[in-house]
Structure 1
Amino acid sequence: MNAIDLLTSQHRTIEANMEKLQQGGMENWDAALFAEVADHLTVHLASEEQVFYPAVKAKRTEDILLESLEEHLSLKRLLADLLELDPGEQTFEPKFKVLHEQAEHHHEEEEEHLFPKVAKALDAAELEALGDKMSALQQSLRGEGSPREAVSEQTNQAAALE
């Protein structure tokens, strides 16, 4: 699958599931869906950091990528905090709302600023190969168990732009 299409599709899935969680409220909190969202977000961020961003760095996107990596760090910190909290705690719901808002903002930034530059810089075959590489990494990360469990170890600083 084309890398941009893959990432955009994942943005919509993550956002839709976050919306379901938020609409359900704390009295109907779906822990299984939250775990799914946390895993999906974790592997999505990892594939961007390890595959997509390094592949497009030389395409005049470095300023956008550096900002995106800082946004990833913020998302990871919020997610790590949420994974440590009980959904019944007073700060859980507002913290989840902030995670949801920041994820949507990050997706919007990528789709409006980064993806159009990448679409112009890479041809269809390159985008397909990049999407395949990202999908393989995501599948591998999911195969290792619960990817969300590693996020707390990734909150000290933004990932390096290699």
Structure 2
Amino acid sequence: MEDLVWDIKNNLSEAPEQFEELLEEAKSLLYSSCKSFTKLSVLMHLFNLKAANGLSNKCFTELLILIKDMLPAHNQLPNSTYEAKKTLCKLGMHYEKINACPNDCILYRNEFSNLEQCPECGKSRWKLCANGVKEKYGIPEKVLWYLPPIPRIVSILKSMA
């Protein structure tokens, strides 16, 4: 885990305080008597599970709360998906959120960016209220987190130099 932190040090040279926080979390044990896991390593494992199994943010938050309750008191595991994402965002992993059809037909980008429903299956792009009407501010039914490969490749090449 520390290798990962040192590899991204070059990307965070303009934000040294952020790097220091990340380094602390890479060294911070999950709980005082834990010798196998740090806060950062556990979050990386859990986010891999989230992505591999398509867990929603709500389900992931409930999982974090359950695991936190199982661990000894004063553990470092975050209480919510939001807090966990804040920690991982310090890694400098930039992402793009793209709305997607709930049935995985299309991504709402390029020529589909302004559509309200999927042209393939007719499903609404937005979560609907109980009465079947779109919410005022339109919350997307499904969101894809796209991690562009170019910044990651640049980061890898910088760390090799």
Common fold: TM-score over 0.5: no
Question: Which has the larger strand fraction?
Answer: 2
Greater Rg over alpha carbons, structure: 2
TM-score by length of 2: 0.28
Larger relative contact order (Cα-Cα within 8 Å, sequence gap ≥ 6): 1
Higher helix share: 1
Q: So what's the TM-score if we normalise by structure 1? A: 0.28
